[in-house]
Amino acid sequence: MRQTKRDELVEKATAIFYRNGFQATGMDRLVAETGISKTSIYKHFETKDDLIVATLKSRDAFLRGWLFGRMAELTSSPREQLIAMFDALHEWFNEPDFHGCMFAKASSEYQDPEHPINREATDHVARISAQLAEIAEKAGLNHPSELARQLALLKEGAVVLATMGRGGSPALDAKAVATKLVEEADPDK
């Protein structure tokens, strides 16, 4: 019942795809870097695309778990969590192996909205937005869904600029804007 080999494969493949890109990573390279035979890989996944989808599911669980977990670590107040998200992002951007958002890359490389890989990517951003809206609601702020959309906007923009920008601290720029937005959505004036 242990499916450790499959898990090991997904975990290693996630890292390799993230670092190296999807189309740019051949199956032979995957074999070489994971030490798992191609036969074995294709016993667990019918196609490369299936494997990619699995890595995205894994990454989605990890990333959302980490982000919202870190926000909860930083503060227990839902209202402050919305702002603390940008501190968490700041930490993420400054990790030495930060290479942008894996889902943005996936969506770039597989543009067809019908493609399961693209679906997985758009699912990820939808889930993040939904969680933000939930927190905004819990915080009792005005127009929680509008606020969540705006915070998502800032979050995605910060990721892009952290990836493609030249220096600076986009997460902190975003935090400044987010702070204003949250203050304005405060029902107590």
Site string for DNA, 18-47 (x = CB under 7 A): -----x-xxxxx-----xxxxxx-xxx-xx
Residues interacting with a second copy, by CB under 8 A?
19-21, 23-24, 99-100, 103-105, 107-109, 111, 121-122, 125-126, 129, 146, 149-150, 152-161, 163-166, 168, 170, 173-174, 176-177, 180-181, 184
Task: Give which of 107, 15, 39 is closest to 27, Cα–Cα.
Answer: 39
Burial of 73 (0-12, 13-18, 19+ CB in 10 A): exposed
Rank residues 14 and 150 by Cβ distance to a second copy and give the closer one: 150
Which residues, including other chains, have CB under 8 Å from residue 62's CB and lie 6 or more apart? none
Residues in the chain: 189
Select the span of 1-9, 70-78, 80-88, 156-164 touching DNA (CB under 7 A). Answer: 1-9
CA distance 81 to 71: 5
Residues lying near DNA in the complex (CB under 7 A): 4-6, 23, 25-29, 35-40, 42-44, 46-49
